[in-house]
Structure 1
């Protein structure tokens, strides 16, 4: 089993691509430091510009609630959640209109994620805070106030806890007030990315120490990779939890859930800042530091 990757000859974005998110198994949104949101159709091979963002808006994270999961049943879920470096997050319609902008953090908002049940969203920021918001963007609670920037955060499978990074440690905090957090030292440097899979309840982290690691939900280590040449800039679970993808500088790796590597690709991408899986778990899209969006689908299963 391995990834078969494809890259266009010339990138469609004119600057770093920070984030990608799937709309359905054929359609992807991407945005980057060129202040443009693009929509890619993998069937027709068309790429259209959905929106020109304000020039002061530098995107940091993008999450579209998977279509068909709950989106039709819950109004407001058919929106892109876009966080940005100016401390705001934005709810954007699929045709590119900014429906709402919320002042969320002091300093950059570094992560923005819809919850698995669609009931709300979380943001995490440079100010060391994690906040929970309603679907419409009303503040519900500030669940974390720490002294270190939070580079990445994720929901637990039942959306009752949040997992977040703090320096070299990972911390799980229950949403109920005054609950004691569970924390553990995870890497020998900053933890840059973390993801928690709803199907298998396992966690992957990637760090500045050039390793990726697999953990159970209690923080017990299940796998630690060898040291890579560059920091791990993205990790992403497949929806079913049987595979995950790891991104680094000019590097895209496919692994099984135990951590073992099936394939290693060396595309000319710069750092892969963000990886997103299609809902059927057959392909990934990656946001690349050199303006490209890389596509990879699984072959030879």
Structure 2
């Protein structure tokens, strides 16, 4: 496998890009400290302004409401949750209209994530609190409260547990009040990003100690990278859990689920603040500190089925080979 970065876009944001999120395999939204939300069309290479946010909204995290539940498409799926430095999260439509703004935390709302069926939103704040909200933005519960900011949060595969950061520790807290909480020291510096894949049940973490690590859901270490030159500022599992991406200063890395590095790119982007995978897992986008949005395609990925080997050669091109077995050759 390898990463192909076709270009760095000439039309970009004027300030740091904080978050990106795919709507389809060909369309991406990006949010920046310049208060703009841009829409990127990969088919036409067009970039359009969706909305100019009010000057007091500095976006931090973006997450689209899941489009399907149990194979059925949601009627209200065309909205995303946008967290910001003013202590609020905003429910924003695809057209850029702010449908609702909710006072959620004291200080910045550092992360916001829908659960896998789109029925609940978890937010994490600079105030050290973890809160669960309904789909309409009503507070359900304050799940946890601690002394230090919570920089990143993720749902467990069954949406019944929350993984969050606490300084150098990782904490898994079930939604049931009486259930046991797991906690372990994971890094030698503040943990900045976590992700939990619903397919392989594995956890990613990265932090200021310049390392990224892979854990199982019991907190057992499966892989630890060597120290990078700069802190790990972003990471994300591909949807199928086979690979993940890691972002750092002028660095984008592609790894398989065991931690093995397949590709290392050094784009001139500043810190990659956020990475997001398309739903099919063939491409990713990065929100960059210098105002760029970077796109990368996973190529040379292989799938095998019976006598066939399928190789992804370009963004929309696959090569199919059929291997002849001795038995097949004898019959010809």
TM-score of the superposed pair, with normalisation by structure 1: 0.97
CA shift, 1:36, in A, is: 0.4
Question: 2:296 is matched with which residue?
Answer: 296
Question: 1:167 is matched with which residue?
Answer: 167
- Listed one character per residue, the Cα deviations across residues 136-180 of structure 1 (whole Å, up to 9, x for unaligned) are 000000001111100000000110010000000000000112433
- Listed one character per residue, the Cα deviations across residues 247-300 of structure 1 (whole Å, up to 9, x for unaligned) are 000000000000000010000000000000000000000000000000000112
Structure (1 or 2) with the larger CA radius of gyration = 2
What aligned pairs does 1:124-163 form with structure 2 within 5 A after superposition? Answer: 124-163=124-163
CA shift, 1:12, in A, is: 1.3
The aligned length equals 301
Distance 1:156 1:117 in 2: 12
TM-score of the superposed pair, with normalisation by structure 2: 0.88
Which moved further from structure 2: 63-72 or 272-281? 63-72
What aligned pairs does 1:1-301 form with structure 2 within 5 A after superposition? Answer: 1-8=1-8, 10-68=10-68, 73-301=73-301
CA shift, 1:71, in A, is: 9.6
Distance 1:167 1:114 in 2: 23
- Identify if the C-alpha distance between structure 1 residues 213 and 40 changes in structure 2 by more than 3 Å, giving closer, same or farther: same
Q: Which SS does the other structure have where 2:5 is aligned?
A: strand
Distance 2:94 2:221 in 1: 39
Instruction: State whether residues 66 and 117 of structure 2, in contact with CA within 8 Å, keep that contact through their aligned partners in structure 1.
Output: no
Find runs of 4+ consecutive structure 1 residues off by over 2 angstroms: 6-11, 65-78
Instruction: State whether residues 273 and 289 of structure 2, in contact with CA within 8 Å, keep that contact through their aligned partners in structure 1.
Output: yes
Instruction: State whether residues 274 and 287 of structure 1, in contact with CA within 8 Å, keep that contact through their aligned partners in structure 2.
Output: yes
Instruction: State whether residues 156 and 196 of structure 1, in contact with CA within 8 Å, keep that contact through their aligned partners in structure 2.
Output: yes
Distance 1:160 1:5 in 2: 37
Distance 1:210 1:108 in 2: 24
**Structure 1: gaps spanning 5 or more residues:** none
Q: Please provide the CA RMSD for this pair.
A: 1.3
CA shift, 1:72, in A, is: 6.4
Structure with higher RCO (Cα < 8 A, 6+ apart): 1
- Identify if the C-alpha distance between structure 1 residues 160 and 52 changes in structure 2 by more than 3 Å, giving closer, same or farther: same
Distance 2:119 2:256 in 1: 30
